[in-house]
């Protein structure tokens, strides 16, 4: 008597189209407002970048911001980088919203949200993020 598992002699065909890659539809090209967060991976700033990403998605729900991309960087010339870029459909180039080295530190979420709001939804209330400290 053998303890080895025997291969099934018949193959079950899956009929569920959700599991059939030939039915998958790729994402459309980006035509919505996007945010790109570049960060120094060697500095271990992934958690900070994902936190900022989450906060921005909670404040500016899709379709207001359709995509927030995280770009880890690990070259000598990008050491210490933490930049937030905003790309708006119809504008020629992304706008730099925050640079850690230029601004002298990481963004306060309140300030970052205000800068983004002022470009994409000037009339939007940010609630407690609009109140003066």
Span 82-128, pLDDT tens digits: 999 999 998 989 999 999 999 999 999 999 999 999 999 999 999 87
Span 48-84, pLDDT tens digits: 999 999 999 999 999 999 999 999 999 999 999 999 9
Structural domains for the chain? 34-122 (3.40.30.10)
Q: Sign (positive/negative) of CA torsion 124, 127, 128, 130?
A: positive
| pTM (two decimals) | 0.78
Beta-carbon contacts of 88 under 8 Å, excluding residues fewer than 6 positions away, are 33, 95, 119, 120
Per the CB < 8 A criterion, the answer to whether 107 and 98 are in contact is: yes
């Amino acid at each position: 008597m053998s303890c080895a598992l025997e291969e099934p002699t018949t193959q079950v065909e899956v009929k569920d189209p959700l599991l059939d890659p030939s039915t998958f539809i790729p994402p459309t090209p980006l035509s919505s407002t996007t945010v790109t967060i570049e960060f120094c991976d060697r500095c271990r700033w992934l958690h900070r970048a994902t936190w900022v990403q989450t906060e921005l998605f909670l404040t500016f729900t899709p379709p207001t911001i359709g995509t927030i991309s995280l770009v880890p960087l690990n070259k000598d010339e990008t050491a210490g980088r933490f930049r937030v870029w905003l790309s708006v459909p119809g504008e020629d180039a992304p706008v730099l919203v925050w640079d850690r080295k230029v601004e002298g530190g990481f963004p306060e979420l309140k300030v970052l949200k205000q800068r983004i709001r002022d470009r994409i939804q000037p009339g939007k209330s940010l609630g407690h993020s609009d109140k003066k400290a």
